Structure 1
Amino acid sequence: MISGSVVALVTPMHSDGSIDWQALSRLIEWHIEQGTDGIVAVGTTGESATLAMDEHKMVIKACVDQVAGRIKVVAGTGANSTAEAIELTKVAYEVGADACLLVTPYYNKPTQEGLYRHYMAIADAVDIPQILYNVPGRTACDMLNSTTIRLAEHRNIIAIKDATGDLVRGKELIDAVGDKLAVLSGDDATAAGLMLLGGQGNISVTANIAPAAVKAVCVAAMAGDEAATEAADGPLRILHERLFVEANPIPVKWALLAMGLMEDGIRLPLTVLSDVEQPRVRDALNQAGLLD
């Protein structure tokens, strides 16, 4: 079972865009020390769209090797090509990842039947726990609850990352498949609310810079403690908002730079956070007590 606070880990890079393996190792150790329950390696926050296939595989393996079974490692293996998604998922299985995260195919806009067949093909091809990922705001593809309900029957499909931010829809999904799938939030701004409704965790961008605080929100919300959830999540709300002033992971990578945890590397077509937005993100970091 994948649950609790799971960080959608950035892929740290040097200023020239090459992967910073030492920074990756340091980040992983920091997350383990801070109580993070799991790491997503090379998800969309990890710039999966711009990593070469070999790099993608290498980062997954590096994360699995570094973690060494201490927490869960979820490999981002989604693609808008079913064959490519199967290839990446096979690699994740071979290197020992605990599960895979599979974003809905982006740009080519499949039908609901196409989505069902895509995910079933991957689940049939690779015997590893798999997490569906619905983020229509980024992919132009929305997997309806009815399709998720159909997919929940496959033994290899164990969870869904719901990044719609729609709590009504999320509660309907929890009620429909909660005995078969873990429903995880993929939207920091509404994650606490979804967990209070029965969601089993948060795959978080904010956890990149505030892992212990996000873990505290998850613990309180999954226990159904509304007052403790409010106390834990309240100070993070400005971060939840301002980490999306430009396309993710632009702001969160800059925040990690400001915290001294990595260089400013990011790959085109993404660019370093603009001068206009830097003061707003720095202010959010200060308000959350994350800068000295």
Structure 2
Amino acid sequence: MAALSRQVESAASLPPAAPLPLGHGFWRRFLGHRSAVLGGGIVLAFVLVALLAPLLAPYHPTDDANLLQRLQPPSAEHWLGTDHQGRDVLSRIIYGARISLRVGVVSMLMAAVAGTVWGALAGYYGGWFDMVSGRLVDLMLAFPSILLAIAFAAFLGPSLENTMYAVALVAVPQYMRLMRGQVLSLREQDYVAAARALGFSDARIIVRHILPNALAPLIVQGTLGVGTAVLDAAALSFLGLGAVPPQPEWGRMLNDARTVFRVAPWNMTFPGLAIMLVVLGFNLLGDGLRDLLDPRARDD
């Protein structure tokens, strides 16, 4: 009986297809996917800039203010010019990469964890909990996410931490619905039924047999979600609900540059380009991963 139990457990642990094919075949296809390579290169470049900010930035982003050098155009001394307080724009953009990437990644992780747990429970147990959860998610999705983020940020107060909470809260329904749909399709599979027959706990079935097979779409959504979080955080900071001065956050830099745009357009142009490139990088990477992790597109 013990041997039979081990055999059935082994069968129950094997999904119908490898959920994350990250072997040599995957990386070969990745290097052959132009969008994925381009997006990954952009993201990697900004990650390296953020990590090496103290070495790359020619000036301190907040302490080197000099009103005598305010609003200087790009030059050999200040490659991207100076802002309204004489601070080096390039240095602030470099240090701003740390803030924007941290906000994007942390917000995505909080939303993904909360939405995944919520969706897994709703999809697995169903019943009244699933019905109430579905109506609540529908209600949240009925409003534009940026409006909900503005409402949450205004309620919590302006700060980077509250910005991360606000951005994460409005992203939770996306992960919840995605995970719920995955669980609904996976909970009726034979290996899940075998795990139930062996008397495994619900938590073990969800964590060991359902979640691994739902990771691929969650990874794609998470990659795309980082770009969306960076954009939403920049929007909140631009509206005065995110980063507070003198933090070199890109959205805050755009807000500071509004009043001097006519005389110093570089103050708004370069932070805007940084936001655009980061969001573009994560979107291209997410689209590439969606193609590469789609079981129907695998050739290995």
Which TM-score applies when normalising by structure 1?
0.29
Higher helix share: 2
* Alignment TM-score, normalising by the size of structure 2: 0.28
Higher relative contact order (CA 8 A, sep 6+): 2
